[in-house]
Amino acid sequence: MRVISGEQKGIPLKAVPGRDTRPTTDKVKEAIFNMIGPYFSGGFGLDLFAGSGGLGIEALSRGFQKMIFVDREMKAVQTVKGNLEKCSYTDCCEVYRNDAERALKAITKRELVFDGIFLDPPYKKQQLEKLLKWIEEKRLLNNGGFIVCEHGSEIYLPETIGQLQQVKMETYGIIRVSIFEWSDK
């Protein structure tokens, strides 16, 4: 696992120890960023199920300015912090140990709005739909922003959730990636 492109290209990233976290493969990560970027001129992002922090770090390497990482597992939080140090991104990031719902409530209280949100939870459809509804209802995504959902290939998310519109969906073996954007239609 490594940073694929951008200013930190080639830096190896550590995976979360144990078998509870499934890191996004380099192939899938490359495909995701080809769908949403591949590069950015600024941006504020949220990596809600951070794991090793690979998706958020890739976004930073490709031009995002700031990122919040959240994971409920202490081993993941420690891994994210180590990977951020290795990539010299500690000054532009916040890392929290929290579950997704509590983190979104805290983010809502802070009135934060994101340009990019990465959702790569344990593969449970209901949780993704619930989180997408919360993000939409609380308006946590900027116009022109995106949400990347990584989930099992057997899962099909709704094409529309309020103002969120699914704009892309690709399958890579057992993994499906769904991309949502804000739609003012």
Q: What is the pLDDT of residues 61-96, one digit of tens each?
A: 999 999 999 999 999 999 999 999 999 999 999 999
pLDDT of residue 185 exceeding 70, the answer is no
Structure tokens at 83: 């990977």
Q: Where are the domains of the chain?
A: 29-182
Q: Are 70 and 47 contacting, i.e. CB atoms less than 8 angstroms apart?
A: yes
For the chain, the average pLDDT equals 93
pLDDT of residue 122 exceeding 80, the answer is no
Question: What count of other Cβ atoms lies within 10 Å of the Cβ of residue 75?
Answer: 15
Q: Are 93 and 30 contacting, i.e. CB atoms less than 8 angstroms apart?
A: no
Q: Which CATH class is domain 29-182?
A: alpha beta
Structure tokens at 166: 């699914």
Residues 6+ apart with CB under 8 A from 44: 64, 65, 66, 67, 112, 113, 114, 115, 116
Please tell me the predicted confidence (pLDDT) of residue 26.
83
CA atoms within 13 A on the CB side of 127: 16
pTM of the model: 0.94
3-state secondary structure of 1: coil
Indicate the pLDDT class of residue 22, thresholds 50, 70 and 90: low
End-to-end CA distance of the chain: 39
Please tell me the predicted confidence (pLDDT) of residue 126.
62
What DSSP character marks residue 49? Answer: T
Structure tokens at 89: 């991104």
